[in-house]
Structure 1
């Protein structure tokens, strides 16, 4: 599984209604996208949830790298680059992804953690996978994921939740505009091995 995430800063005076309308227009396409577990359409607004600026963002969990590649080469990213320009797309390998018991995601929380240089990687991976499985069983969890960036040696923790998550200073909270979930229900459920 591949996690892909990008964010576009939006000027304070930009009409956020345009972003909401674009999401509403594009969401049905993503609701049936093959090889996609989910796509979260997210919007941070300046002054809310610690945001200093407006930011439109998308977070994906792809089933296979070829599906992600096909989306890129078919022009799927053009809908974003035309109005907002080209942002870096952060990609991660998913170490574990679990469907929780909650259904209606309202928030995403993301957190990046550096993996210490001298860490035992096997043990670190095992700890993060175990932690992710503990988060997945919480009653407000829709999806819990942990990924790894092996270029920068960081873990990325992702939580989609029905309620505003409890966070620390390194966590970014993203209110969701829409969650397209074509294959989300096929993810392993919390508590499954």
Structure 2
């Protein structure tokens, strides 16, 4: 599994209805993308749920590098580049994925943190795996994942929820659409 996200931070007075309309028109285009586990079309709005910014920030879990590359180089990502400019696309290597009991994604939580120095890497990633398991077991969680970017030594935890979690640990996003053609094929549990 590979995780990927790009963030388009928009002006504070930007009409987020433009992003909502775009996702309503185009979100279905990845509903059957080969190699995609899931794509959550995410937004944050300035002043809502603690967000300091307006942001469109889709988050992906890929089953295959081929699928991710086909998206990046084969036309899918070009639409974002054409409409908003080419944002950096962050990538993380998957550590764990867990299914929850939720049935519909309305919110997402993303938590990023540096991998601490002085702590054995094995302990750090085992903690991230355990946190993904714990999050997925919470009532209303659809799924949870953990991944690491070894170029920055950064961990990311990502979870999808039926309702806004009462005490979210991270940035809270609204889910506008969920494309999940290969969600059932995302490898469960620890990824090594």
Say whether residues 1:162 and 2:162 are aligned partners: yes
> 2: distance between equivalents of 1:20 and 1:151?
33
CA drift of 1:15 comes to 2.9
> 2: distance between equivalents of 1:15 and 1:117?
42
Question: What is the total number of aligned residue pairs between the two structures?
Answer: 188
> 2: distance between equivalents of 1:12 and 1:83?
18
Please provide the CA RMSD for this pair: 1.5
> 1: distance between equivalents of 2:122 and 2:34?
32
1:24-39 mapped onto 2 (5 Å cutoff): 24-39=24-39
Please list every run of 5 or more consecutive structure 1 residues that lacks an aligned counterpart in the other structure.
none
Please list every run of 5 or more consecutive structure 2 residues that lacks an aligned counterpart in the other structure.
none
1:146-185 mapped onto 2 (5 Å cutoff): 146-165=146-165, 166-168=167-169, 171-185=170-184
3-state SS of 1:116 partner: coil
TM-score, with length taken from structure 2: 0.91
> 2: distance between equivalents of 1:143 and 1:68?
20
TM-score, with length taken from structure 1: 0.91
Q: Which residue of 1 aligns with 2:124?
A: 124
Maintained 8 Å contact 2:107/2:163: yes
1:10-159 mapped onto 2 (5 Å cutoff): 10-159=10-159
> 1: distance between equivalents of 2:67 and 2:59?
15
Maintained 8 Å contact 1:11/1:54: yes
Moved over 6 A (4+): none
> 2: distance between equivalents of 1:52 and 1:120?
34
